[in-house]
Amino acid sequence: MVEIKSKREIELMREACRVTALVHEEIAKIIRPGITTLELDRVAEKVIRENGGIPAEKGYPSGEKGVMDFPASICASVNDEVIHGIPSSRVVLKDGDIVSVDLVAYKNGYNGDAARTYAVGKISSKAQNLINVTKQAFYEGIKFAKPGYRIGDISHAIGEFVQKKGYSVVKEFQGHGIGRSMHEDPGIPNYGKAGRGIRLEPGMTLAVEPMVMAGKPDILQLEDGWTIITEDGELSAHYENTILITENEPEILTIIRK
């Protein structure tokens, strides 16, 4: 069942999303060669808690027997890691790396979810193009995030754009509704046919998140039970925002307007 948020709930969502955006602003300032992904994690948790929030990813259950709950406040996925990379003091970022940071801030009963792929120092034109295409795929998708369109219209627009650019989308993971729970209905794949799925209505809050691979659309899961990598070792990028369906254009909640 897809929840339609009340005006009060939307205000609470805006605040949780504001905290999420603040974390990304801080991470963008400190990303550099020599920093560890664990340091990024500690900074993220500090910002979330200082703003009255809780890092929702910390302790998130895997749902798989024998796999630990997620141990960190952010997912930090480097180079060929697609999603769910676990921050570590042993992962030292170096010049030319790209790192996808996905995080969820929980505040006053609601969640804000956003991901960005960051350049570390000077990166290759290939890596930069992948980052650019992944971000633009999000914007191509939300052109259809309006009343009257369907979830499949968003999915189709993302997938078609990525394919035309010569890249692949992850098919095993997808975007989702968001609100009181981190993951709510509906699921939002990054590929599919237009005109399918539920019809969009004002008051829906959605996390739209293209996950794009430079090579083939095949993935593997590491032994930690969390980290997803590209099977062919090619780079991967991730871009996500929490959006609100309005009467007109969608409102992006996890970007702070200057």
Residues 177-189: what's their mean pLDDT? Answer: 98
Residue 3 CA from chain centroid, whole number: 20
Task: Please report, for the chain, the start and end positions of each structural domain, with discontinuous segments joined by +.
Answer: 7-252
For position 138, what pLDDT does the model report?
99
Q: Is the pLDDT of residue 173 over 90?
A: yes
For position 1, what pLDDT does the model report?
87
Kindly give, in sequence order, each residue whose CB lies less than 8 Å from that of residue 57, ignoring residues fewer than 6 positions away.
Answer: 70, 72, 73, 74, 75, 102, 103, 104, 182
Under CATH, what is the fold of the domain 7-252? Creatine Amidinohydrolase (3.90.230)
For position 258, what pLDDT does the model report?
72
For position 97, what pLDDT does the model report?
98
The pTM of this model reads 0.97
Residues 46-68: what's their mean pLDDT? Answer: 96
Residue 243 CA to residue 83 CA, distance in Å, equals: 20
Kindly give, in sequence order, each residue whose CB lies less than 8 Å from that of residue 63, ignoring residues fewer than 6 positions away.
Answer: none
Residues 78-95: what's their mean pLDDT? Answer: 98
For position 69, what pLDDT does the model report?
97
Q: What percent of the chain has pLDDT over 70?
A: 100
Q: What percent of the chain has pLDDT over 90?
A: 98
Alpha-carbon separation of residue 52 from 45, 120, 241 (angstroms): 11, 29, 20
Structure tokens at 208: 């739209």
Residues 215-242: what's their mean pLDDT? Answer: 98
Lowest mean pLDDT among 55-59, 117-121, 254-258: 254-258
* Local confidence band at 247 (pLDDT 50, 70, 90 cut-offs): very high
CA atoms within 13 A on the CB side of 157: 20
* Local confidence band at 133 (pLDDT 50, 70, 90 cut-offs): very high
* Local confidence band at 257 (pLDDT 50, 70, 90 cut-offs): confident
For position 3, what pLDDT does the model report?
94
